Structure formats: structure tokens, C-alpha cells
Amino acid sequence: MLKYGKAILTEYMLNIKIRKIMNKGIALIIGVGEVNTEHYDGWNGMLQQPENDAKMIADKINKYGFTNSLLLLTQEATRQNVIDWIQSMALLSCPGDLVFIYYSGHGGQVPARKSDMEEDNLNETWCLYDGQLIDNELYHLWAKFKAGVRIFVVSDSCHSGTITKAIIDTSDTNPVMVAKNLPDVKIKSVYSKNIDFYTEIYNKLDAEPMKNIEVPIMSFGGCQDDQCSYALSKEKYSVFTTHFSKLLNAPLNNIPGASQGITYDEAIKRIQLAVKEDVGLLQTPYLYQVGKDISFSDEILLKI
């Protein structure tokens, strides 16, 4: 796994001839188990699972050939580090390459602009350590990738008004919600406290004309927009990531019908069934596609 910095560009420049004839995989793995209380209005959002999730996924993708990847944990998972690495991925990836981005942590929302045309007047976010990364920013980043690149995003996070992954306490016979929910008023207070910060982000987006997204982007989401992604309080990993990671072992675990791997379409169906067994209908993972109208959902999961 490469360290973050100029060494990444140097290595790619030295191997430019190889890159022209071989497809490659580039990955960004993010796990945020705590956020900066100064930005988040006194809330630290502490969770034990996201760092464990990210480390596990980073380890499992090695066998798929993602030799160029970056793991960002909690304090390393700043807005700038994430944006810089995605921009580097856009620069370094070539047609035929697979870009994989994984995020485990809190999901949040910020007020949308009128031009965003959001039905609920809110934009979804990832709660990175020092500030929220808005979905609009990601759309601008996707537009930087060259046609022919495939992007696969996995977000084990919540995008509802709770701005949090919820925790289920399994100490009782009937699991109950405890501790980790954040009320809607906190969403408003975080935004209000940093209104100049987020206004500047929107202004920068407005100043940069939105280009067409020329690549197919497939996303596995941990839950629907009106739900939460869960973690079991006594478990090391989040519910969605637990079942997603099991499918990364499909060729090794002799899963029926998966001797050569498993397609994205089949993977999300199996994850949905497994998650339902754990938490019922509280959490329903989904597959969502945007960008260029070329689907790769029938391809083998993470095959470069």
C-alpha cells in the first residue's frame, strides 16, 4: 500500500508504459471513527467499527490486484486528503481501469441550494474528520475522470436526518437503539456554526461549471435515504460491511454459484438478504448507478 504523497505520482510516471497495456485497480479506503468536535459543534461521533471496517476492506482487496491504494483513518480522513486522492485517481487512471472508493462512517446533510433541485432541500454528505464532504463535490470530482474508467463506490453510512450510523445494543433480548443518534437540531447547528465554510464550498462549485460525467459510477449504499446503517454494539464490524466483506471471499469460500467470483448484481441481492436477517427491514442496502449510460453491474465484483 502506497503512502500518500509525491511518491505516488513518481511510481506511476516510472511505469507509464506498463499502464498503457494493463488495466489496473486504484483504491481509496476511508474509515472515520471520530470527528473534530470544533467543527461538529461539540459532537465527536465516536464509533469503534469504521476503522475496523476500513482496515478489513483494505486487506481483502489486495488479492484483487489493487496494488495502488490509500487507507485513511479518522484524523487522516480530512476533506483535503480525500479530495486530493480522488483527483490523483482521476489523473492517473486510464480507460479500462477500476477505481474503488470505500467509506465507513457517519452520513450527514447540509441545506441545498435552490439550483440543486433536491426534493427535501438537503444535500447528503460524508462526515469526514474536519468537515462534511457534500455529494455535489463528489459529482464534480467524477467529471474529472476519463471516459472508459469504471468507478465503484461503497458507502456504509447513513444519509437520514440523524447524521449518524446508529448502534444497536444486543445486551437485551430485544435490540434497542442507544446513544449514537444525533437529533435534527444538531445538523442545523453544525451547519450554522460553519455557514461561511459551507457557503465558500458552494461558491467554488458555482464558479466551476459542471462538466458531463463520462464514466459509469456504481454505488452500493448501506441503506436507503430514510434509513440508518447499523452496527451491532458488541460486533467489531458494521452490519453492511460484514456481509459485503464475506462476498469478497466468494471464490475462496465455495459460495454456491460463485466459484469464479460474484457479479455486482448478485452481490447486492445477497447482501440485502443477509442484512435483513440481522436487522430486519430497518436497513435495506441498494445499488445505484449514475454517470455514463454504460453499466458494469453484470461484471465480476472488483474484477480489474
Q: Contact, 33 vs 73, CB < 8 A?
A: yes
Neighbours of 217 (CB within 10 A): 22
Domains, the chain = 6-291 (3.40.50.1460)
How buried is residue 37: exposed, middle or buried, by Cβ count under 10 Å (0-12/13-18/19+)?
A: exposed
* Residue 283 pLDDT: 80
* Residue 115 pLDDT: 61
Alpha carbon distance 264, 289 (integer Å): 12
Residues ≥6 apart with Cβ < 8 Å to 169? 175, 176, 177, 178, 233
* Residue 218 pLDDT: 92
* Residue 5 pLDDT: 45
Classify 295 as helix, strand or coil. Answer: coil
* Residue 61 pLDDT: 94
Alpha carbon distance 248, 273 (integer Å): 16
Which stretches in the chain have pLDDT values below 70?
A: 1-21, 114-120, 159-185, 227, 230, 250-259, 293
* Residue 38 pLDDT: 96
* Residue 251 pLDDT: 57
Alpha carbon distance 303, 251 (integer Å): 12
Classify 42 as helix, strand or coil. Answer: coil
* Residue 257 pLDDT: 57
